[in-house]
Amino acid sequence: MLAPPYTAVELWLLDHLAPRLLDSARALYELMPRQRGGQLPLVDVPYRPMSEEHWAEAARIADYVAHAPAGAQRVLDIGPGDGWPALPVAAARPDLLVLGVDPSPLRVQVCTANATRMGLGNARFVVGDGAALPFEASTFDLVTAASSLEEASAPEAVLRETLRVLRPGGVLRASSQDWRLGVPGFETVLLWESIADGQAGEGRAGALCYSYVSRVQDPPRERRYTLILDGSEAARALHQEALLQVAVGRRAYGETLLDDSLGIAMLERLAPYTRASTVVELQRWSTPALIEALRRAGFAEARATVHPGELGRRFARELLARGAMEPFVPLFEDATRALGTLAGSQVGDAMVTGVKR
């Protein structure tokens, strides 16, 4: 089902646990109580101007908003997770109708609950695949996507569908993880707790999970294997032990780099307590490859810009380092809007814009 080559850990997993091949929505996002473990980006926490992360977040939202063409009415957010950027964009522009589409029913539920809590009547969410959008052609003025294009099983089909549902003159503004690893590949391990136990539809709370991730530069792809453990005391103790090791390990991409004790040695100990195992394979893009894919999909214009979040973060970091943030606190909204608007016009290699003729 997966093409070679395999790492030693993958070979062990394929031989011993026969993981089920799933898409990312079913393998990961259906099981996560919250995206990114409650880290930023936040959908419903008030901005704190003394935090550089919040400058980054606000600038990113301002950037999306600035890409809505004049007279825009409808925005589509592909793969909103917990509602990002759909919800902050809807909050910033009450005159726009923002729709979010995500194949994970759980994510759609979370987004809808967040919209209700935030009192946003102009944000709605539907279950659907970006590669087969449940909308008529030329329906949207702006399509946003944050770290979601590359999570689809057929990302090029998502780009073609995006083009179809954009009206002429409509804009796609997207961020994706830039897959220039700088090394041929590396492996990481993640210990986490899922909202369900992996038994489709039952939705019982709280199963402990172990994920092994193999990232490869060429061809650019990621494979993520997840073991869903049973609820025994022994499994809980092992999970806790691995969690402590992960907490002190060296990190990359927000995860802990594999070391011997967390790899096959840990898998041999976890295997007796494994109730289900899954694998998801994702095609990855560098920014230049994404620009090429936009052109192939038929976008008339495709360009890469600097990252508004990076711009916002650097600006705030500089002010904080100089002890000069205080006077900017009342200007937070205007300043982040300016940074966000600026980012889209600055040539760079982080976020991408595609325009339909």
Nearest CB to ligand SAM, comparing residues 255 and 325: 255
Interface pattern 2-41 for ligand SAM (x via CB under 6 A) = ----------------------xx---x-----x-----x
Residues 41, 42, 43, 49: what is their CA dihedral angle, to the nearest 10 degrees?
A: -100
Q: Is 85 exposed, middle or buried, given 0-12, 13-18 or 19+ CB atoms closer than 10 A?
A: buried
Q: Do 102 and 29 form a contact (C-beta atoms < 8 A)?
A: yes
Interface pattern 225-264 for ligand SAM (x via CB under 6 A) = ----------------------------------------
In whole angstroms, how close is the CB of 319 to ligand SAM at the nearest point? 26
Interface pattern 157-176 for ligand SAM (x via CB under 6 A) = -x------------------
Q: How many CB atoms lie within 10 A of CB 270?
A: 20
Determine, following the binding rule CB under 6 A, whether residue 151 of this chain makes contact with ligand SAM. yes
Backbone φ and ψ of 324, nearest 5°: -115, 20
In whole angstroms, how close is the CB of 25 to ligand SAM at the nearest point? 4
Instruction: Specify the residue for token string 């976890």.
Output: 270
Determine, following the binding rule CB under 6 A, whether residue 129 of this chain makes contact with ligand SAM. yes
Please select the residue that binds ligand SAM; options are 49, 103, 308, 312, rule is CB under 6 A. Answer: 103
3-state per-residue secondary structure call for 209-237: EEEEEEEECCCCEEEEEEEEECCCHHHHH
Binding region for ligand SAM (CB under 6 A) out of 59-67, 75-83, 245-253, 324-332 = 75-83
Give the residue ranges of DSSP H helices in the chain. Answer: 8-17, 24, 52-66, 86-92, 105-117, 155-165, 233-248, 264-270, 287-297, 308-321, 332-343
What type of residue is 262? L
Nearest CB to ligand SAM, comparing residues 239 and 284: 284
Binding region for ligand SAM (CB under 6 A) out of 68-76, 125-133, 238-246, 258-266 = 125-133
Nearest CB to ligand SAM, comparing residues 164 and 269: 164
In whole angstroms, how close is the CB of 310 to ligand SAM at the nearest point? 15
Token readout for 307 is 């990252």
Q: Is 127 exposed, middle or buried, given 0-12, 13-18 or 19+ CB atoms closer than 10 A?
A: middle
Determine, following the binding rule CB under 6 A, whether residue 339 of this chain makes contact with ligand SAM. no
Determine, following the binding rule CB under 6 A, whether residue 152 of this chain makes contact with ligand SAM. yes
Q: Binding residues for ligand SAM, per CB under 6 A? A: 24-25, 29, 35, 41, 78-81, 84, 101-104, 107, 129-131, 146-148, 151-152, 158
